[in-house]
């Protein structure tokens, strides 16, 4: 049986020149900052949205993000998803 899970979160549309959408699942983000440290464009910053422990979640600068997915690969809690279009 397949179960569909829904997580709280938000979406930043049209990063990487419109080639991708960027999702952050706030139920999963624990605010560790690893993704910020690993972003090659240094375009991730703390968000006004809060994560699992009421610490800031993250959000990309949509204009600077290249949609490489390094942040999503780095996140130990799978709190980021990059959806290429």
Contact between residue 53 and residue 61 where contact means Cβ atoms under 8 Å apart: no
**Which 3 state secondary structure label does DSSP give 56?**
strand
Which string of x and - marks every residue 14-53 that binds ligand SF4 (by CB under 6 A)? ---------------xxxxxxx---x-x-xx------x--
What is the maximum span of the chain, computed from C-alpha positions, in angstroms? Answer: 41
**Which 3 state secondary structure label does DSSP give 70?**
helix
Closest approach of ligand SF4 to the CB of residue 1, in Å: 29
Which sign does the torsion angle of CA 73, 29, 59, 11 carry? positive
Q: Is 62 in the site for ligand SF4 (CB under 6 A)?
A: no
Closest approach of ligand SF4 to the CB of residue 25, in Å: 8
By the criterion CB under 6 A, which residues form the site for ligand SF4?
29-35, 39, 41, 43-44, 51, 58, 60, 65-71, 74-75, 77, 79-80, 82
């Amino acid at each position: 049986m397949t179960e569909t899970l829904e997580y709280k979160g938000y979406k930043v549309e049209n990063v990487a020149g419109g080639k991708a959408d960027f999702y952050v699942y706030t139920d999963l983000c624990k605010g560790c900052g690893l993704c910020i440290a690993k972003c090659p464009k240094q375009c991730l910053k703390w968000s006004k949205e809060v994560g699992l422990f009421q610490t800031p979640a993250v959000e990309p600068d949509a204009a600077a993000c290249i949609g490489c997915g390094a942040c999503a690969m780095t996140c130990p809690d799978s709190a980021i998803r990059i959806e290429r279009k």
